[in-house]
């Protein structure tokens, strides 16, 4: 999802919310007869007249097609697609075509991290997140790990990766999960 589609989601939700509030308030005022201008019965004659016009089905059909296209496009915007695979090498310039595979560099860093004894597994990828190009490393660590040590190791792996990638506009994030499967040190009782 992009920032734009999040913004659209938010804006439409606010609009629908406001509409519901207005409808609710008007309905209650109508029942309580608190607004002088509201007639006691509804009249949709004007709407029915519009629908009777010869051009109505054309407008209705065209609007329908547009609504379906917009709706499908909107749905597609919710598919996860924030992954980035290739990036320009630093110093390539605007027209430069020197590219490197960012996701495999991230994956290599994750493999390096996973080799540490306290880390069980790690995956690395590059994604766009709220306007930043973020190298994400997700790792699973042992429940008995020394957190200070893991933090230090993760810092080192990320710094190495920064060296490899060489771009100043990259951001880093490491997410650690503690493994549920506990390697028990207790003697098994049978």
User: Which of 83, 85, 96, 159 is in the footprint of other proteins by CB under 8 A?
Assistant: 159
The whole-angstrom separation of Cα 44 and Cα 119 is: 68
CA torsion 107-109-110-113 (nearest 10°) is 160
Q: How far is the CB of 114 from other proteins (least distance, A)?
A: 15
Q: How far is the CB of 170 from other proteins (least distance, A)?
A: 5
Q: Binding residues for other proteins, how many (CB under 8 A)?
A: 91
The whole-angstrom separation of Cα 47 and Cα 176 is: 59
Q: How far is the CB of 19 from other proteins (least distance, A)?
A: 7
Residue 107 CB burial class (10 angstroms; 0-12, 13-18, ≥19): middle
In the complex with other proteins, the residue whose CB is nearer, 86 or 152, is 152
Q: Which of residues 26-65 bind other proteins (CB under 8 A)?
A: 26-28, 30-33, 40-45, 47-48, 51, 56-58, 60-61, 63-65
The whole-angstrom separation of Cα 7 and Cα 172 is: 24
The whole-angstrom separation of Cα 138 and Cα 141 is: 10
Q: Does 164 bind other proteins (CB under 8 A)?
A: no
Contacts with other proteins, 91-130, as mask; x by CB under 8 A: --------------------------------------xx
Measured in whole angstroms, the distance separating CA 102 from the mean position of its chain's CA atoms is 20
Residue 109 CB burial class (10 angstroms; 0-12, 13-18, ≥19): buried
User: Which of 16, 92, 101, 115 is in the footprint of other proteins by CB under 8 A?
Assistant: 16
Q: Which of residues 136-155 bind other proteins (CB under 8 A)?
A: 136, 143-144, 146-148, 150-152, 154-155
Q: How far is the CB of 190 from other proteins (least distance, A)?
A: 21
Q: Does 67 bind other proteins (CB under 8 A)?
A: yes
User: Three-class SS of residue 6?
Assistant: helix
């Amino acid at each position: 999802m992009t920032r734009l589609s999040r913004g659209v989601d938010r804006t439409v939700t606010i609009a629908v919310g406001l509409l519901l509030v207005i409808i609710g308030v008007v309905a209650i005022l109508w029942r309580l007869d608190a607004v002088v201008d509201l007639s006691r019965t509804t009249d949709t004659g004007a709407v029915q007249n519009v629908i009777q016009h010869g051009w109505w089905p054309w407008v209705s059909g065209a609007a329908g097609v547009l609504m379906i296209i917009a709706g499908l496009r909107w749905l597609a915007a919710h598919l996860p697609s924030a992954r980035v695979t290739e990036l320009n090498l630093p110093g390539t310039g605007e027209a430069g075509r020197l590219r490197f595979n960012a996701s495999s560099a991230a994956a290599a860093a994750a493999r390096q991290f996973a080799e540490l004894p306290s880390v069980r597994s790690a995956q690395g990828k590059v994604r766009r997140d709220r306007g930043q190009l973020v190298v994400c490393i997700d790792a699973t660590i042992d429940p008995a790990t020394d957190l200070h040590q893991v933090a230090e190791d993760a810092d080192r792996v990320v710094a190495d990766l920064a060296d490899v990638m060489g771009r100043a506009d990259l951001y880093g994030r490491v997410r650690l999960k503690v493994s549920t499967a506990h390697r028990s040190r207790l003697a098994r009782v049978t």
